[in-house]
A and B are shown apart, each in its own frame.
Chain A
Amino acid sequence: MSTAPPKLLAGLTLLYWGYLTGHLSAAIPAAILLESRHAVSLRWDFKYESYIKAWHLCVLCAVIIATISWIDGMRIGSIHTLFVWAPFIFLPIELAQRFGTAKNIPLSTFSFFARRKMLDDIKEGRKIAPRLFNTGYPYITIVILATAKASRHDLYHYVGLSILVGICLHGYTKNNGRRPVAWACAFILLLVLSWVGQWSMYKLSRHYRGGNQQITLNQTMSAAETRTSIGRLGRIKLNPKILWRMKLHNGSKPKLLRSATYNQYSKAIWFYLPTTSSSSNDYDEFGYKGSSSAAVREDQRDIRWFSETPPPLSNEAPISIIGEVDAKVKEHPLPIPDQFTAIGDLDTEAFVECNSMGTIRMANPDYNVIEYAVWRGDTSNTEEPPIQQSDSSYNLDLSIPRHERDALKRVCTELDLYNPSLSTLEKIKIIKHFFIDNFTYSTHLTTPRFDRGKRQSATSLFLEDSRTGHCEYFATATTLLLREAGIPARYCIGYAVHELGNDKNEWVMRGLHAHAWSRVWIKSTSSGKDGKWIDADLTPPSWQSIEAQNLDNWKQRLSDKWQLLREDFLIWRTKEANKTRVFYVLAAILSLVVIWVSWRLWSSRQRKSDTRLQAYQRPKYAPYTSLHKLEPLVAGKIGRRPTGTPLCKWLQGLLLVDEQADPELEESLATAIALHSIVRFDPTKSSPKQNQELALLCKRIKQQIKNYQSYKK
């Protein structure tokens, strides 16, 4: 690749990148800078070392961009997303190529080891022949790939890609024997084939990837629904990474932190169905409501509650929670303890809302890592009691899927859960002992693979047949059994709190602490309140010890330390005062680098006219003569005129085509060349008569060439 791309192509590609990735304001100045090469005469005679410095500048840009992204919360595993900034990372070397006087740069510029080897060879006196190349087309390729990484419009991307590829191919084939008709046909075929090809690749990829996905606990979870792995074969993947940290300032430690609660079950999916009654009009049509507008204290601390009246709150929040909101989890439900009353210390622009099940969710957080405070009271003020749907007598908290009923009835009969004399707590105890005595906890399911249609009876199979499962099985079974026994119950997911962190009052929740349990309505015996919701975790207690294995190794400890350091830094960085400090420091460093580079470049600049060796530039006012018009015809006979060959000398090659040259043609050509030289090189002394004579002569020569039949058959 030692040819430069056509003019304006790189600038056009940058604008295409800017438009499709939403960074047009950055792309425009960069495109202008690149293409200004054709408008200004500034050039630099860069030595080999200068290109190396330009490459080092590219590396520095990459480090700066990675640092800024990391500060903003990007994870190391997502570093590939930085490729979208590749056009700016490689901009310094491309500018060096464009504004340097060298046509190509050595490939060893990009490798420390290659450079060192070259220096060793020079020192040893060996002959070196570095490979040279032009960065034009590779830079355009990088910009196109970066666009594909983050493009927002599929169709526009395809159209732009086709145009750019067409221009690249057109420019590349210009001096490589392009055949216009063949090129056009091939390009049309290319567009069709690529359109068909991308669909085929997508289908193929989906076909081969679809069956081999690893099961993850709560593999898609949101505040609205959770898809359990009930009925799926294989081992549940347990992530040892720390997801949340809880700092306990006062009060007792909650055993469980609830992320979301659901009330409707169907085919291994639990989801939330709004249960707003006609009396409550705080909830929107999706069943969510925002925090109270009066939620702020006198000292301007951010505290929010969802009840009509402000709950009693202590000055210091008993619990604070730190963690990273997962981009894959929609609407970011936040883990909260039981008896939740208020949440606070969030970013002022953060928006939180709550549904009737008590699920708190955050919409579009500014930063990946967040810290928030939680207040607790005697009872939760966000969960509505079990109520009927407004237009029917159907209680969602008692609903059971039809295909599960038979098995549930059998088990309830066996356990005597229909007995009216038993209280709710007693029934819960019975189910608990039933699970402990007869069931086994396991994350590895070896039961035969269920077909799609048979997954609906997975819970039944669990209760009556396999009696082996993980927390989702136990939680679902508990919820459904209690509902069958006439007790309102809900399904919850969240985390179990039982691992102490590095600090005395800090508890960590890892992926393998993710848990599911039931939420049960206990009717109140005293007057006043109807009752309350309590947690009923009936998964055999042995599950915690099973998950805790293989945690104690140095790799995990190192990973934990790094993660905590990162999160603490990100929390520190998001505070208002610190945001400004970090910005100023980065801006200062960047400004110093830019000033230093600009000063060095300005002091070593050259004008384009300073270079001694330049390509021949035809004088603007040099006339074209009739002899020039013969060039295409003669080129068809003896081949194109090579670069640097004068026209007259080249035309004489016509006489060498045949061994017996036509004397008439030879004479006419000689006369025409003489006249042409006068007209071309001394136009002031040439007369119109000479021009006419030349034109007539050229006409005759043209005829002679055609009749001459230099193509011998």
Chain B
Amino acid sequence: MPMYSLGPVYQIRGMMFAILTLSILWLLFRKAKVKTTRKLPRVATAGEPLEYYIEIYNEGKRTLSGANFKEMRPDNRPNRELFANSREPGEEHRNVFDRLFCYYRWEWLQEKLTLFSCKPSTFIDSLPPGAYTKTPLSLTPKKRGIIMLKDLRIFLPDPFSIFQRCSSAHSSEDKLIVLPHRYRIPQLLLSGSARFQLGGEALSNTIGQSGDFTSVREYRPGDPLRHIHWKSWARTGIPIVKEYEDVFFPRYGLILDTFASEDQADLFEEAVSVAASFAASIDTQESLLDLMFIHDQAFVFSSGRGEDRVDSILEVLAGVDCEPRTDFDALQQLVLQYSDELTASICVFTGWCEQRSKTISRLHRAGMELVIFSICRSSQEADQLQERHPSPLPIHWLRAGHVEEDLAMTKA
């Protein structure tokens, strides 16, 4: 035994050395050959955890035990160009050391480029060779868009769980559409509602006749032939048609401002989330929704009765990008084109400026009913912008990072 005063110290060193060596060497003998299949839903929502299952088939010759799985995210390291040309928001307020070594810029870029985070699955107790089982996994998408899942890994820890061997789990490539994050929307009283009416001044927009039979009248050119009442024609000798109640459904417009620069990317994301929140909350059984935005060209997507489901609008919003080239005239033209059909419109702007103010003025003069939301960084900024570029209509300001609470305070 070593010297009295040094013995325990050497024992501790020996123990630490033994634990590390044994753990590392044990991993050389831990192997697994598995094939996995993901059972993914089609869509997920940004910021909300997604639970799904993976099926595991043990292709190896030994029983698999004490292993777990995890979805590895793609490499989120920024490249040199991106790192050199980016600036973290508020970087100028950092100290000299941080500005020189830019660690926080690196961290910010990594966070921006991270698509999702994934928790490891529970451990598999025992899976005989040739058998299969299912295990749940949880994944939280960080941002909207499309995630390609192609790197599922199996972790094989040593007996002391100090180190683990990480191998590929041989899975296929799967796609997951991540819808924008949505907020709780306040009760907005928009004009128009679905009702049955016979003629009169249209307060909403008709989409067709599907009401009850009410009366007959003389045929007028243009009436559908299927509505001819043959018995009455036979009796009277002149064409007679049946008359039905008209069904009127409101048609709402959701105008998304895509004209945002690179440093307003976070505001744009909030604008998309707000637009998605409205799209998801409007009752498309009783109304129609038209999403309009400009991205290289004008786009209009409709959902509601007789049209696509609202999910399709959300999927569109999942993939929409900023339009760097500002063209509010095109947006005006697009919206005015549908102004007669639209009952009311919700405008979601990324910030505020002279051009946006002019657009709203033009649309308002055209007689459109508008509810305006604009994303800003702070209340002070909102006040300054409104003072600089007054709007003919009230604007509901939503602060980035506090959207939900600002929406809750909104009254239509």
A residues adjacent to B (C-beta < 8 A): 20, 124-126, 144-145, 147-149, 151, 154-155, 157-158, 161-162, 165, 169, 172-173, 176-179, 182-183, 185-187, 189-190, 193-202, 635-640, 642, 653, 656-657, 710-713
Interface string of B1-41 (1 = CB under 8 A from A): 11010111111111101110110001000000000000000
Give bound CA distance, A704 to B17, whole Å.
50
Interface string of B76-120 (1 = CB under 8 A from A): 000000000000001001000000000000000000000000000
What B residues does A195 contact at CB under 8 A?
Answer: 14
Give bound CA distance, A710 to B57, whole Å.
12
Given A154-B1, A161-B12, the answer on whether A190 and B125 have CB atoms closer than 8 Å is no
Q: What 3 A-B pairs come out closest when comparing CB atoms?
A: A198-B14, A711-B131, A197-B14
| A197 partner, pick from B8, B13, B125, B134, beta carbons under 8 A | B13
Overall SS of chain A's interface:
helix
* Contact of B211 with A by CB under 8 A: no
Given A190-B22, A197-B18, the answer on whether A637 and B67 have CB atoms closer than 8 Å is no
A186 touches B26 (CB 8 A): yes
Give bound CA distance, A197 to B17, whole Å.
7
Give bound CA distance, A185 to B159, whole Å.
9
Given A176-B123, A711-B128, the answer on whether A183 and B11 have CB atoms closer than 8 Å is no
A711 touches B133 (CB 8 A): yes
| Nearest A-chain residue to B127, judged by Cβ | A711
Distance (whole angstroms) from the CB of B99 to the closest CB of chain A:
13
A154 touches B134 (CB 8 A): no
A639 touches B133 (CB 8 A): yes
| Nearest B-chain residue to A189, judged by Cβ | B22
Give bound CA distance, A468 to B22, whole Å.
56
Give me 11 other A-B pairs in contact (C-beta within 8 A), A637-B133, A639-B134 excluded.
Answer: A148-B8, A157-B8, A161-B12, A177-B161, A186-B22, A190-B15, A198-B2, A199-B2, A202-B10, A636-B126, A640-B122
Given A198-B2, A202-B6, A711-B131, the answer on whether A186 and B15 have CB atoms closer than 8 Å is no
Give bound CA distance, A711 to B90, whole Å.
56
Distance (whole angstroms) from the CB of B203 to the closest CB of chain A:
46
Give bound CA distance, A182 to B8, whole Å.
28
| A178 partner, pick from B2, B66, B130, beta carbons under 8 A | B66
Q: Would you give 16 A-B contacts (Cβ < 8 Å), ordered by A?
A: A149-B9, A154-B1, A165-B19, A173-B161, A178-B161, A182-B66, A193-B14, A194-B11, A194-B15, A197-B17, A198-B11, A201-B17, A640-B123, A656-B53, A711-B130, A712-B131
A642 touches B18 (CB 8 A): no
Give bound CA distance, A347 to B93, whole Å.
65
| B68 partner, pick from A169, A177, A636, beta carbons under 8 A | A177
Given A165-B15, A172-B160, the answer on whether A202 and B66 have CB atoms closer than 8 Å is no
| Nearest B-chain residue to A123, judged by Cβ | B93
Give bound CA distance, A124 to B88, whole Å.
12
B18 touches A124 (CB 8 A): no
| Nearest B-chain residue to A20, judged by Cβ | B8
Given A148-B11, A148-B12, A636-B125, the answer on whether A190 and B18 have CB atoms closer than 8 Å is yes
Give bound CA distance, A296 to B139, whole Å.
87
* Contact of B132 with A by CB under 8 A: yes
Distance (whole angstroms) from the CB of B369 to the closest CB of chain A:
36
Give bound CA distance, A201 to B2, whole Å.
10
Tally of B interface residues using CB under 8 Å: 45
What A residues does B160 contact at CB under 8 A?
Answer: 169, 172-173, 183, 186
B21 touches A193 (CB 8 A): yes
A713 touches B66 (CB 8 A): no
Give bound CA distance, A20 to B67, whole Å.
40
Give bound CA distance, A408 to B303, whole Å.
118
| A712 partner, pick from B15, B18, B90, B132, beta carbons under 8 A | B132
A193 touches B8 (CB 8 A): no
Give bound CA distance, A125 to B158, whole Å.
43
Most buried by B among A165, A177, A183: A177
| Nearest A-chain residue to B135, judged by Cβ | A639
Distance (whole angstroms) from the CB of B293 to the closest CB of chain A:
29
What A residues does B22 contact at CB under 8 A?
Answer: 186, 189-190, 193
* Contact of B136 with A by CB under 8 A: yes
What A residues does B68 contact at CB under 8 A?
Answer: 177
Distance (whole angstroms) from the CB of A706 to the closest CB of chain B:
13
What A residues does B132 contact at CB under 8 A?
Answer: 711-712
| Nearest A-chain residue to B378, judged by Cβ | A125
What A residues does B157 contact at CB under 8 A?
Answer: 176-177
What B residues does A639 contact at CB under 8 A?
Answer: 121-122, 124, 133-136
What B residues does A157 contact at CB under 8 A?
Answer: 7-8, 11
Given A639-B122, A642-B122, the answer on whether A173 and B13 have CB atoms closer than 8 Å is no
Give bound CA distance, A161 to B8, whole Å.
9
Given A173-B160, A198-B10, the answer on whether A638 and B134 have CB atoms closer than 8 Å is yes
Distance (whole angstroms) from the CB of A1 to the closest CB of chain B:
12
Give bound CA distance, A491 to B19, whole Å.
54
What B residues does A182 contact at CB under 8 A?
Answer: 66, 159
* Contact of B65 with A by CB under 8 A: yes
